[in-house]
Amino acid sequence: MVPPSPQTEDPTQHCQPPKLNYITTSIPCTAPPQRRYRRCFCYSCCLCTTLLIIIILLLVAIADAVFLVLYRPHRPSFSISSLQLSKFNLTDTSLASNFDLTLIARNLKKKIVFSYEPIALKIFFSDISIDDGSLPSFTQATKNVTTVKAVISSSSPFPDGTIISPLKSNLKNKNLPFKLTLDTRVEAKIMKLKTNKLRVRVNCDGIKISLPTGKSSTTGTTANVKCKVDPRFKIITWTI
């Protein structure tokens, strides 16, 4: 019998690398940032807001246009019916004067009612304040002419720094030029709608009046007097 030959070992068996067990784990995918979606949303909001503002402005403009066509509101008009001077005593430091004023306010509108607060008035010679007074408050109905009378008298010293030389130099003239200013607040009403109280100034230029002699008063020339209404407001708001 032939003995079995001894098995020879394969030298490469000791050179094989060990088998490695790889464990694979899946990495979850993160969602991309939603910047684009947010941008679109913000853009849409801005666009809608802008369109809404434009629509509101258009509606307000249309409402104002319809209001102007239907009611045609105008400023109230004023004129001086007469201005009489019964006393005018001027010294270097003071002035004593007495004026009788008749003022006419006209409301030519058919659907607008004006309500006036007390009116503060001043009489000027150039820039020198001659006299001041007040007129009572009144309400003027539609298509109405209102006459308001007032006595304006004062006897007070001039403020420090008042230059009265121009007034003195004009005393010899037959007619002295005066200016009248009125300051008040007015409220306009149309049916159930009414405005806020609006500041209004009225300037009346071109008054000429001579100085009184003795106890008799003189009447000023008011035929060419122009009274200009100067609204002193920027925004009119209507309330119910």
The answer to whether the beta carbons of residues 163 and 127 sit under 8 Å apart is no
Per-residue pLDDT, 230:
86
* Nearest alpha-carbon partner for 121 in 182, 179, 78, 201: 182
Mean pLDDT score of the chain, rounded to an integer? 78
Per-residue pLDDT, 180:
93
What's this model's pTM, rounded to 2 decimal places? 0.64
Per-residue pLDDT, 115:
93
Stretch 39-65: mean pLDDT: 80
* Nearest alpha-carbon partner for 79 in 203, 217, 176, 210: 203
Q: Is the dihedral of CA 129, 130, 133, 139 positive or negative?
A: negative
Stretch 194-223: mean pLDDT: 82
Q: How confident is the model at residue 25 (pLDDT cuts 50, 70, 90)?
A: low
Q: How confident is the model at residue 112 (pLDDT cuts 50, 70, 90)?
A: confident
The answer to whether the beta carbons of residues 99 and 151 sit under 8 Å apart is yes
Q: Is the pLDDT of residue 202 over 80?
A: yes
Q: How confident is the model at residue 32 (pLDDT cuts 50, 70, 90)?
A: low
Stretch 70-82: mean pLDDT: 74
Stretch 212-239: mean pLDDT: 72
Q: φ and ψ at 28, to 5 degrees?
A: -65, 140
